[in-house]
């Protein structure tokens, strides 16, 4: 939920810059406060409530000397967003500074004991117990390494932790159910919750495992297990271009990422669709056989992709259902030997999804992670992985990863069932260019101008477009802060129609899927209540008489139509939010990676 950056560098005066750059690459993980600490003969801490720009204003004009430092961008769980609750936190003597991502479940009892032993606390956070525990162990004569370990041994919960000590050029870190990755560069070593934090400095990374401890100094790293034994690590090379993690001239990451969708889809398809042989194959799943039933587990946007995926499997004759990960319990929901659980998670770090996948693992069920992040917790928790290859997504509202998830799920269902419809494979080939044509001819600004002051927005869809109706409404809520709701088109008349007025535009996804007439019937129902209608459709001639705006979708395979249609909804949500002056990349109260249940 929060973002951690650490740096043990070779040069004295670039630590602050590296830490601040790192935090800007992590701000999507939390942005209610941020801070940095640099260790030299003392520890200098700067922290501030608000976005990173607020922290920047508090920094001294001078360089802060020191080769080792840590930084943090926060999304509050314990204690309101404020200067005092911002990380890093220090002990009573300010000899150690700590940053933390996760939740320390037993912090209250630890805090009571420490307070009884004379420690004083400056914040309401669970994190602050850690520097005090370390201080206590130092008082007992422990070395920095031992004190850090002994403190961590007393913690229950989930954490990625990093600490620096005064007068020490080493950075100490560990993880338990929260991500941490080390970057090995020429000018030093980096540590972060996610790769965008240091991708401009190095693409050589080592993903830490739960329970591992790492010590970084300017010349390298040492990883040990929970018993202190040396661990042999594997080095990966990240294939993203550093430019991928920047805005490339767009006003917002979200807009950039919407425009990256044609490329993201091409990457997802690459090497997996053999059009000539009329087949789909996924290397990482070559030893997986056709399941008897599929349970999808996911949250938010990924859950809507999962709804779409479940429908694909059902259409191929395999019973499949999408579950909200937070509601999934394999102890209650029956699983058979041939059931497969598929976790759909962009970040691979969503706590609810990980918990559902771990439950499935305990129940002995075969698991697949459909994720964007190599080395993520979901990728490591599952038996198999299907990477969606969307590249880094920084905007908090998921866009390109949804398109890539849908694409990957079509591939997954095809690969596991041996389904090889040549029409589908041909349609895939055209999909990126068709998407580009929607981006090039968008009328979203005009729609936004007409309806940005509406009371609420409704989105209706049917069949494969139903999940996109939910996703379109979620996007609208997240970044416009206005009420929006998605409905199965047929459900409108069973209650929600009471909400429809001339001030509630209805976005109707009308697809040439054999059900267009029924959906147009629903469009007529809202039109009769004077609601403005924006039709997103590949049958414009059918819906034209009833629509105030027509947003056309090129003809494609029925299963791929929703992937294209969603681009219109993304662009409209973006334009409305932009015209209303919202904080698009970092909407209020939200964080990209939700690592608490």
Question: What is the pattern of x (binds ligand F6R, CB under 6 A) and - over residues 567-596?
Answer: ---------------------------x--
The residue with its CB nearest to ligand F6R is: 300
β partners of residue 486:
459
Is residue 478 a contact point for ligand F6R (CB under 6 A)? yes
Pick the closest to residue 411 from 275, 299, 295 (CA basis). Answer: 275
What are the CA-CA distances from residue 566 to residues 37, 334, 357, 484, 531 (Å)?
A: 43, 33, 28, 15, 21
Whether residue 2 contacts residue 35, with contact meaning beta carbons closer than 8 Å, is answered with no
- Asked if residue 537 binds ligand F6R (CB under 6 A), the reply is no
In the complex, the smallest distance separating the C-beta of residue 101 from ligand F6R, rounded to whole angstroms, is 15
**Closer residue to ligand F6R, CB minimum distance, 474 or 516:** 474
User: Rule CB under 6 A: is residue 566 a binding residue for ligand F6R?
Assistant: no
In whole angstroms, the minimum distance from the beta carbon of 540 to ligand F6R comes to: 28
**List 90, 202, 353, 595, residue binding ligand F6R (CB under 6 A):** 353
**Any contact of residue 96 with ligand F6R (CB under 6 A)?**
no
- Near ligand F6R in 243-302, by CB under 6 A: 299-302
The pair of structure tokens assigned to 100 is 């933390």
CB of 178 to ligand F6R, least distance (A): 14
Exactly one of 15, 127, 350, 442 binds ligand F6R (CB under 6 A); which one? 350
Q: Any residues with CB less than 8 A from the CB of 195 and at least 6 apart, and which?
A: 181, 183, 205, 238, 240, 392
Alpha-carbon distance 117 to 114, whole Å?
Answer: 5
From the CB of 209, what's the least distance to ligand F6R, in Å?
20
Compute the distance between CA of residue 483 and CA of residue 494 in angstroms, rounded to an integer: 20
Minimum distance between the CB of residue 288 and ligand F6R, rounded to whole angstroms?
A: 21
Q: Does the footprint of ligand F6R cover residue 397 (CB under 6 A)? A: yes
Which residue stretch of 94-102, 275-283, 347-355, 488-496 sits at the interface with ligand F6R (rule: CB under 6 A)?
A: 347-355
Tell how strand 384-387 and strand 366-371 pair up: parallel
- Tokens 């009471």, residue located: 498
Could you write out the DSSP letters of every residue in 286-324? TTPPPPSEEEEEE-HHHHHHHHHHHHHHHHTT-EEEEEE
Nearer to ligand F6R, 384 or 592 (CB): 592
Q: Which helix (H) or strand (E) covers residue 109, if one does?
A: helix 107-116
Q: Which stretch binds ligand F6R (CB under 6 A): 56-64, 67-75, 342-350, 518-526?
A: 342-350
Q: Of the listed pieces 109-117, 247-255, 343-351, 504-512, which binds ligand F6R according to CB under 6 A?
A: 343-351
- Least separation in angstroms between residue 299's CB and ligand F6R is 4
Q: Is 59 helix (H, G, I), strand (E, B) or coil?
A: coil
Q: Assign 481 to helix, strand or coil.
A: coil
One of 160, 206, 335, 398 touching ligand F6R (CB under 6 A)? 398
Cβ nearer to ligand F6R, comparing 346 with 465 = 346
Distances (CA, A) of 426 to 304, 499, 538, 562: 25, 42, 18, 17
CB closer to ligand F6R, 20 vs 306: 306
Residues 6+ apart with CB under 8 A from 470: 304, 307, 459, 486
Closest CA to 132 of 111, 156, 101, 102: 111
Question: Residue 597 is encoded by which pair of tokens?
Answer: 């249940």
> What are residue 485's phi and psi, to 5 degrees?
-145, 140
Shortest distance in whole angstroms from residue 388 CB to ligand F6R: 10
- Of residues 493-522, those binding ligand F6R (CB under 6 A): none
Residues in the interface with ligand F6R (CB under 6 A) total 14
**b/e for 390-412, b at 16 or more Cβ within 10 A?**
bbbbbbbbbbbbbbbbbbbbbbb
Between residues 85 and 595, which has the closer beta carbon with respect to ligand F6R? 595
Closest separation in Å from C-beta 243 to ligand F6R: 23
Binders of ligand F6R among residues 299 to 338 (CB under 6 A) are: 299-302
Tokens of 7: 């740096």
- Site mask for ligand F6R (CB under 6 A), range 126-155, x = bound: ------------------------------
By the rule CB under 6 A, 347 interacts with ligand F6R = yes
- Does 467 bind ligand F6R (CB under 6 A)? Our answer is no
**How distant, in Å, are the alpha carbons of 31, 169, 262, 564 from that of 42?**
27, 12, 50, 56
Tell me the window of 37-45, 56-64, 328-336, 339-347 that interacts with ligand F6R (CB under 6 A): 339-347
Per DSSP, the three-state class of 53 is: helix
Cα separations (Å) of 112 from 118, 124, 156, 372? Answer: 10, 13, 15, 41
Q: Which of 155/325 has CB closer to ligand F6R? A: 325
Q: Least CB distance from residue 553 to ligand F6R, whole Å?
A: 21
**Residues marked as catalytic:** 2, 592
Q: How far is the CB of 256 from ligand F6R (least distance, A)?
A: 15
Integer Cα distance of 140 and 97 in angstroms: 18
380 vs 518, which CB is nearer to ligand F6R?
A: 380
Query: Contact region for ligand F6R (CB under 6 A) — 134-142, 213-221, 340-348, 412-420?
Result: 340-348
Residue number with CB closer to ligand F6R (257 or 552): 257
**301 versus 575: smaller Cβ distance to ligand F6R:** 301
Alpha helices in 466-560 (DSSP H): 466-480, 516-528, 540-543
Which of 33, 76, 174, 345 contacts ligand F6R by CB under 6 A? 345
Q: How many CB atoms within 10 Å of residue 426?
A: 15
Nearer to ligand F6R, 206 or 473 (CB): 473
Q: Which residues bind ligand F6R (CB under 6 A)?
A: 299-302, 345-347, 350, 353, 397-398, 474, 478, 594
């Amino acid at each position: 939920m929060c973002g951690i950056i650490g740096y043990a560098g070779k040069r004295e005066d670039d630590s602050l810059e590296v830490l601040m750059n790192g935090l800007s690459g992590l701000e999507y993980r939390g942005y209610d406060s941020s801070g940095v600490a640099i260790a030299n003969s003392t520890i200098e801490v700067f922290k501030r409530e608000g976005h990173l720009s607020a922290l920047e204003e508090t920094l001294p004009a001078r360089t802060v000397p020191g080769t080792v430092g840590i930084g943090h961008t926060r999304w509050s769980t314990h204690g309101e967003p404020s200067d005092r609750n911002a990380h890093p936190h220090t002990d009573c003597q300010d000899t150690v500074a700590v940053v933390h991502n996760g939740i320390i479940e037993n912090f209250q009892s630890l805090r009571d004991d420490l307070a009884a032993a004379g420690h004083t606390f400056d914040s309401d956070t669970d994190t602050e117990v850690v520097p005090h525990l370390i201080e206590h162990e130092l008082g007992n004569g422990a070395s920095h390494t031992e004190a850090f370990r002994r403190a961590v041994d007393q913690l229950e919960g989930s954490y990625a932790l990093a600490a620096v000590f005064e007068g020490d050029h080493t950075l100490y870190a560990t993880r338990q159910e929260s991500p941490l990755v080390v970057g090995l560069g020429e000018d030093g070593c980096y540590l972060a919750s996610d790769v965008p934090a240091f991708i401009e400095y190095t693409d050589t990374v080592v993903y830490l495992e739960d329970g591992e401890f790492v010590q970084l100094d300017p010349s390298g790293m040492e990883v040990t297990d929970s018993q202190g034994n040396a661990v042999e690590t594997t080095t990966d090379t990240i294939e993203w271009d550093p430019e991928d993690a920047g805005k490339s001239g767009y006003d917002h990451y979200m807009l950039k990422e919407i425009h990256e969708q044609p490329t993201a889809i091409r990457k997802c398809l690459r090497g997996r669709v053999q059009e000539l042989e009329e087949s789909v194959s996924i290397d990482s799943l070559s030893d997986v056989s056709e399941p008897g039933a599929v349970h999808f587990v996911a949250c938010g946007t990924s859950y809507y992709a999962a709804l779409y995926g479940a429908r694909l499997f059902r259409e191929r004759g395999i019973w499949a259902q999408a579950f909200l990960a937070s509601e999934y319990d394999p102890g209650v929901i029956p699983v058979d030997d041939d059931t497969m659980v598929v976790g759909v998670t962009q970040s691979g770090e969503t706590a609810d999804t990980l918990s559902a996948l771990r439950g499935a693992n305990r129940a002995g069920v075969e698991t697949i992670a459909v994720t964007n992040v190599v080395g993520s917790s979901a990728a490591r928790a599952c038996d198999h992985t299907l990477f969606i290859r969307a590249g880094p997504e920084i905007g908090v509202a998921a866009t390109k990863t949804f398109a890539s998830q849908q694409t990957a799920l079509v591939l997954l269902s095809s690969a596991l069932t041996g389904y090889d419809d040549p029409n589908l494979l041909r349609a895939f080939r055209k999909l990126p260019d068709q998407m580009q044509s929607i981006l090039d001819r968008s009328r979203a600004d005009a729609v936004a101008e007409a309806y940005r002051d509406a009371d609420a927005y409704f989105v209706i869809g049917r069949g494969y477009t139903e999940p996109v109706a939910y996703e379109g409404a979620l996007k609208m809520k997240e970044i416009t802060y206005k009420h929006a709701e998605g409905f199965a088109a047929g459900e409108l008349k069973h209650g929600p129609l009471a909400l429809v007025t001339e001030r509630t535009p209805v976005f109707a996804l009308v697809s040439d899927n054999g059900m267009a007439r029924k959906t147009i019937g629903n469009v007529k129902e809202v039109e009769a209540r004077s609601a403005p209608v924006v039709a997103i459709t590949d049958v414009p001639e059918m819906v034209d008489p009833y629509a105030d705006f027509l947003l056309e979708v090129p003809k494609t395979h029925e299963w791929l139509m929703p992937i294209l249609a969603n681009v219109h909804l993304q662009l409209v949500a973006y334009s409305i939010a932009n015209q209303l002056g919202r904080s698009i990349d970092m909407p209020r109260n939200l964080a990209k990676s939700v690592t608490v249940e």
